[in-house]
Chains A and B, each alone.
Chain A
Amino acid sequence: MVRTYALLAWTWTRAAMAYRASFALMVVLGVFVTATDVAVILVLFSHTTALAGFTRDEVLFLYGSAGLPFALCDLLVSNVDRVSQHIRAGTLDTMLVRPVSTWIQLAADRFAPTRAGRVLQAAAVLGYALAVLDLDARRLWMLPVMLATGTVIFAAIWTLGGAAQFLLTDAPEVVNSFTYGGGQLTQYPLSVYGRDLVRGVTYVLPLAFVNWQPALYVLDRDDPFGTPGFVRFLGPVAAGVLALLAGLAWRQGIRHYRSTGS
């Protein structure tokens, strides 16, 4: 699976290089857009010392620990939300007759190496936050767990979004509000949001487990909303359940695929 993905990704990278100017422009643009993200946080903290009770470096920790899994999925998986384009163009048919998982083919489809810049940027921010924050070393085991959890959760949300498009061919914009919206939402301490929204992203769409709940453990903080302490360790469970649902939805989507008229 990994080999097939790498092979397809490399193929698309070479295909993208056929349009060199566009490729170069995407790289420049990518760096610029992600740089403004961090700039916003820095500007914010030049006016205040705390955001909903979190210091600048803690917010950068939250930003990096959500940004890294998000950027990884954006790079590796996000193209599964192009299902509806492929349905309309009829190109999904050609993927379905190849002896390789359709999900892998879609995820690797038009692989954009330019998005790797975002991964590096998020990793750099996280690295900085880890260096300046005086964290309890006995709690750091949670860091790889939360990064893996976050990656699975974002990948599952993208997959669910892709699966939904087998039924609602015009859904990509709705999907974006969950994927990119989720990516934006988790960049800040969830305590800046309303209680109901936080409940929603804890118990319904488990975005709170990408970084918020496990980060409260790593940073050794009390939950501003009073969520029970054990919830901080439920991330892998939530990610597993969501991934299972996404997998089932994807299978159903393929089975209900209607193809085009010709």
Chain B
Amino acid sequence: MIETERAGRSFKVRGAVVHAVRDLSFRIEPGEFVGCLGPNGAGKSTTIKMLCGILTPTSGRVRVAGLDPSRARTALARRIGVVFGQRTTLWWDLPLRDSFELVRLLYKVDRKLFAARLDELTEALDLGGFTRTPVRQLSLGQRMRGDLAAALLHDPEVLVLDEPTIGLDVVSKAGIRSFLLRVNAERGTTVLLTTHDLGDVERLCRRVLLIDHGRLAFDGSVGDLMATAPGTATIEEVVTRLYTRGRAAPPPVEPV
């Protein structure tokens, strides 16, 4: 469903070439639920943006749902759903349901299918209480649920999420997580998410891609990930070990 072959993206910054991502090769099959980890600036967002067609790779090849994202960007848009945790795709000054109606028209979703889908999503994400509220007045948790619904109204084959749980409280996080599991299980939607929240990885992802310095540093199941460290290590410790490999370890934090 998602395939990259030695994909790379470099930027020229004041004359120097910076490789944000290089030689990235992986394959994600239909129905998989994959988490993408990596320290800040490792190239996760660049990777996601290449998969959505926002950024054109400077080397290698990317395929999503059989399409080249940067060349067939608008065709691909109909088949994938994208959620950015840090910014909304909803219309700020309009009620949530107006944004949904716009999505229906922009994605040319059949009216009947749309109504059924919206009912389903309203129930699953518990949107009922605030569909008439302008988006700017929603709490972050509500807005994120709205964004998720908007990204799924056209029933995409692939759902790509960039830090979907950022800034959310434990209850909101739990709600989003169980919803994502449900979408993946019931509709077979392929899910790829980036996160810094290891709880997301433990509870959601069957497979982990770890990107560091723009390269793929680990690709395997959560079990394999845990096996890279001695038996008793927590997932935090395992990931810290991987992030700091070849670097000075961060100073230990003294409990207060």
Contacts and interface: CB of A to CB of B under 8 A. Distances in A.
Interface of A: 4, 7-8, 11, 14-15, 18-19, 89-91, 93-94, 96-101, 255-259, 261-262
Contact of A259 (B54, B98, B102): B54
Interface in B94-134: 94, 98, 102, 105-108, 134
Interface residues of B, number: 34
B107 A99 contact: yes
B75 interface: yes
A11 B53 contact: no
B54 A98 contact: no
B201 interface: no
A4 B105 CA distance: 8
Interface in B13-71: 41, 45-46, 49, 52-56, 70
Interface stretch (B76-84, B178-186, B227-235, B241-249): B76-84
Contacts, number: 77
Nearest to A95: B89
A98 B77 contact: yes
A91 B87 contact: yes
Contacts of A4: 105-106
Nearest first, the 8 A-B pairs at minimum CB distance are A99-B77, A15-B93, A97-B82, A94-B89, A18-B93, A99-B78, A96-B54, A99-B74
11 contacts: A11-B102, A15-B92, A97-B80, A98-B77, A99-B108, A255-B56, A257-B55, A258-B11, A258-B55, A259-B49, A262-B86
Interface of B: 11, 41, 45-46, 49, 52-56, 70, 73-75, 77-78, 80, 82, 84, 86-89, 91-94, 98, 102, 105-108, 134
Given A98-B107, A258-B11, 7 more contacts: A18-B93, A90-B86, A97-B53, A97-B77, A98-B89, A255-B56, A258-B55
Given A18-B93, A18-B134, A97-B52, A262 B77 contact: no
Nearest to A12: B91
